[in-house]
Amino acid sequence: MKRRIATESLQQSGMPTVAPDVVAAALTSAEYALFAAVGRPRRCYAGETLFRRGDLGTTMYVIASGAIDLDFGDDLVSKRLGPYEFFGELGLLIGDHARSADAIAASDGELIELRHEEFQRLVDDDPERVSHFLRRAIMRVVLNEQSLIRRLRRRNQDLQTALDSLRATAHQLNQTEELIRTDELTGLHNRRGLAQHLAERRRTGSLKGLGLVLVDCDRFKQVNDDHGHLIGDRVLQSVASILRSVASDGDIACRLGGDEFCLLVSADSRDAVLGFADFIVTTTRGLMQVPRHAEPGEVPLACSVSIGACLVDDARDWNDWYAQADTALYRAKRMGGNRVEWQDDAFAAA
Q: Is the pLDDT of residue 347 over 60?
A: no
Cβ neighbours of residue 96 closer than 8 Å, sequence gap 6 or more:
56, 57, 58
What are the CA-CA distances from residue 255 to residues 37, 194, 216, 240 (Å)?
A: 89, 9, 10, 8
Which structural domain range is residue 230 located in? 191-349
Letter for the amino acid at 55?
Answer: D
- Number of domains the chain contains: 2
Check which CATH number belongs to the domain holding 24 and give it.
2.60.120.10
Residue 196 lies in a domain: yes
Interatomic CA distance for residues 81 and 144, integer angstroms? 14
Residues 101 and 196 in one domain: no
Average pLDDT over residues 276-282: 95
Kindly report the average pLDDT of the chain as a whole number.
Answer: 83
Q: Is the pLDDT of residue 260 over 70?
A: yes
Residue 171 lies in a domain: no
Check which CATH number belongs to the domain holding 337 and give it.
3.30.70.270
Q: Is the pLDDT of residue 350 over 50?
A: no
Residue 18 pLDDT: 34
Residue 7 pLDDT: 39
Residue 325 pLDDT: 95
Last residue of a domain, one of 90, 124, 152: 152
* In contact, 280 and 213? CB cutoff 8 Å: yes
**pLDDT per residue as tens digits for the range 2-36:** 334 333 333 343 333 333 334 446 888 888 988 89
Report residue 66's pLDDT band, with 50, 70 and 90 as the boundaries. very high
Residues 291 and 205 in one domain: yes
Residue 163 lies in a domain: no
Residue 248 lies in a domain: yes
Residue 169 pLDDT: 74
List, edge to edge, every strand of the sheet that includes 260-266: 252-257, 260-266, 210-217, 305-311, 339-342
**pLDDT per residue as tens digits for the range 109-153:** 999 998 888 888 888 878 887 787 877 777 777 777 777 778 778
Residues 33 and 92 in one domain: yes
Residue 3 pLDDT: 38
Residues 72 and 213 in one domain: no
CB atoms within 10 A of CB 133: 22
Residue 346 pLDDT: 54
Average pLDDT over residues 57-62: 90
